[in-house]
Structure 1
Amino acid sequence: MLPTVKPPMYVKIKTNKPVGNVRMLEPDHSNLTPCDCDPFSHQPCDSDSNCLNRILLVECSPTVCKAGDKCRNQRFEKREYPPLIPYKTDGRGWGLKTLADIPKGDFIIEYVGEVIDESEYKHRIDNKHNEKDQNFYFLTIDKDRMIDAGPKGNFARFMNHSCQPNCETQKWTVNGDTRVGLFAIDDIPANSELTFNYNLQCVGPDKKPCMCGAPNCSGYIGSKATKLVEEDKKKLRADLTKSGKKWKNRRGGGLSAWKMGVEECFLCGKSGDLIDCCNKTCPKSYHLECVDLKKPPKERWICPWHCCDVCEKRTSQRCSICTSAFCLAHSDGNLHFDSNQLLVCNKHSKAPAFLARVAGEYYRDILWGPHCRRLATSSCICN
């Protein structure tokens, strides 16, 4: 049934539109890399084909892919979306739901809007605060560009935040430029609402309350979803008591501020007393001795994954197995792709296959998530 109430006015667009000083990248076909997929297979370049471009989150270009129009890795350009419809939710404004079943991992829709730079972003944020408008539609493309789907956009702009979402944002390279898409992280039945975690960085003193209703809801959009349902809390307490592990309080305060001591060090994989990286988008924790520290630092500490091993400048490429990382000037010769197509440092160039595979799964499923190669967030500072 079609909705009887129409959503607020906005300009419908199918592709990103640059604003002001922003310029969209023109495709350079000489730099586009074809994959090695069999063009005569039934579904070339699909999810079961081990297409190298797809693995690296790169969309095949119809100008260079041997499969041509048969290629199944041109979903952004062809706008291969399932049937979607905006609808009025109960207490959470407008939302977006699917009219068809969506399998886990499937592409749903590209997030499009006006592409703006940092100065225009700050200007629009100031205007929203002055007008007391708490509806934000910003998603980061890279350090210089951001999408604002508020004035112009497509159905993706109606997707609500959830602390327990069924979709995620991924950044893909399409014809040489970065585009943002929504992908299913669960099997989603028809007539279900589509949600993703905004990972919204609080701008100003006020946090926006979260109304998602998920059992692990943090209470505010942008806060970590750490609250557990009561049964899970009791089970964790019992398991920790049996194993002799203790709960540790890193910030003080109530139960929601407690963090169970069941995390693992990113380097050695063992649990214990850990120090967290203070980069808001970084999920990694370490033993002091694993990062050559004798005592916890008094000031804000950023883990080695964000600093070039040579010059200590901001990194652009990182090893998939350890914290070795390099800026653009020093990555050449220090990082390369191994036989599993994982980016590794010289130290791990001959790592055992099982280690590379496990690290690759962790890197793709965990590290690319918070670090915005996969997830686009309004608080992205790692591009």
Structure 2
Amino acid sequence: MDAGRRGVDVSGGSESVPVVVGRSSTASTPPDFQYSPENVQGPGCTIDLSEVTLPGCPCHSHSCLPESCCCLQAHGQAYDSTGTLRDIKRTDTAYSSPVFECNALCACSDSCSNRIVQRGLRLRLEVYRTRNRGWGVRTLEPITHGTFVCEYAGEVISFDEARQRQLAQKSEESNYIISVREHAGTGGVIETFVDPAMVGNVGRFLNHSCLPNLFMLPVRVHSVVPRLALFAGRDIDALEELTFDYSGGYSNQPPVELLSTKSDAAMQASSTNGLQRKVCHCGAKNCTQFLPLDLSVLK
């Protein structure tokens, strides 16, 4: 990515909507990285992310209906007819139902209301230099509660690779790695590690807030590997900075489960010598004063 000019599209044309650099960000330019709208296979990831591994529905219609679509019957209807997330209250608890979208094997149209995250970025976002938190992201248009905003995309890596990268980080460097822990119905646990430091999308510029306006949900489209989708937790005004809670919570206080039952892998990584807590500058009334040692969300 070459972000040497103000107003440049940091996505390099890979998004359907340009992601511009704020015209007031003259002091410096965003760091170089390879822009990718979606997750890519990284070290230690044994799954081909381009392979379609989920079954499709036979719905030959403009948009799938719950009474006839096997995808919606199996996994539930996550979005309404406008593509807005239906169960907003899912953000108030530590656990939520998984979201599955129709995929490449489905017979429905690309405009099906169960195809939201896979359509990619649809909002006008701007990467800009904040006053005291480095680079951030703000929206150039109002966003309605429950709207899909963007992914947190990057390299999908193994725990060993994530731990190795954390240990190699210098104190002044940012930790972009996020750990997602999902509880399967059989009692098993699925962990996904995503690092957008070297390969990633606009999500890598999102700052933490103890009182965020976005929340994250794992969404599966074509692959069993989830895409980390960020939705608006409330109505958001134009030019407002977009933030999410790096610990995975979304409320005035992160849910107790999110604080006390972090993934074993994330706990090991965050307790390793050499990882120091950084001061939080979000300015929220409920600010915990320090950023989470690791980025983790449990679903």
Change (3 A) 1:21 1:217: closer
Matches within 5 A, 1:234-383: 378-380=295-297
Structure-2 residue corresponding to 1:197: 245
Change (3 A) 1:213 1:33: farther
Unaligned stretches of 5+ residues in structure 1: 40-44, 224-376
What is the TM-score of this pair, normalised by structure 2? 0.65
Structure-2 residue corresponding to 1:137: 176
- Partner letter of residue 378 of structure 1? L
Structure-2 residue corresponding to 1:219: 289
1:31-68 Cα deviation digits (max 9, x unpaired): 668653599xxxxx8943499x97752112254253x1
77, 80, 98: which is aligned to 2:118?
77
Structure 1 residue 15 displacement after superposition: 1.6
Structure-1 residue corresponding to 2:278: 208
1:186-245 Cα deviation digits (max 9, x unpaired): 10011110000001864446322111000111111239xxxxxxxxxxxxxxxxxxxxxx
Structure-2 residue corresponding to 1:13: 36
CA contact (8 A) 2:52 2:104 kept: no
Question: How many Å separate the matches in 2 of 1:36 and 1:154?
Answer: 32
- Partner letter of residue 64 of structure 1? C
What is the TM-score of this pair, normalised by structure 1? 0.51
1:284-317 Cα deviation digits (max 9, x unpaired): xxxxxxxxxxxxxxxxxxxxxxxxxxxxxxxxxx
CA contact (8 A) 1:65 1:71 kept: no
Matches within 5 A, 1:52-71: 57-61=99-103, 63-66=105-108, 68-71=109-112
166, 173, 183: which is aligned to 2:220?
173
Question: How many Å separate the matches in 1 of 2:82 and 2:120?
Answer: 22
Structure-1 residue corresponding to 2:207: 160
1:102-157 Cα deviation digits (max 9, x unpaired): 001100001111111011111101100xx224401111245443100111111111
CA contact (8 A) 1:117 1:144 kept: no
Structure-1 residue corresponding to 2:231: 183
Residue 114 (str. 1) matches residue 155 (str. 2): yes
Structure-1 residue corresponding to 2:65: 36
- Structure showing greater radius of gyration is 1
Q: Kindly report the root-mean-square deviation, in angstroms, between the aligned alpha carbons of the 2 structures.
A: 3.0
Unaligned stretches of 5+ residues in structure 2: 1-21, 69-76, 88-97, 182-189, 249-266
Report the identity percentage.
Answer: 31
Which structure carries more helix by proportion?
A: 1
Change (3 A) 1:79 1:175: same
Change (3 A) 1:188 1:217: same
CA contact (8 A) 1:37 1:49 kept: no
Residue 24 (str. 1) matches residue 48 (str. 2): yes
Structure-1 residue corresponding to 2:4: none
Change (3 A) 1:145 1:135: same
Residue 96 (str. 1) matches residue 137 (str. 2): yes
CA contact (8 A) 1:85 1:97 kept: yes
CA contact (8 A) 2:179 2:194 kept: yes
How many pairs does the alignment contain?
A: 220
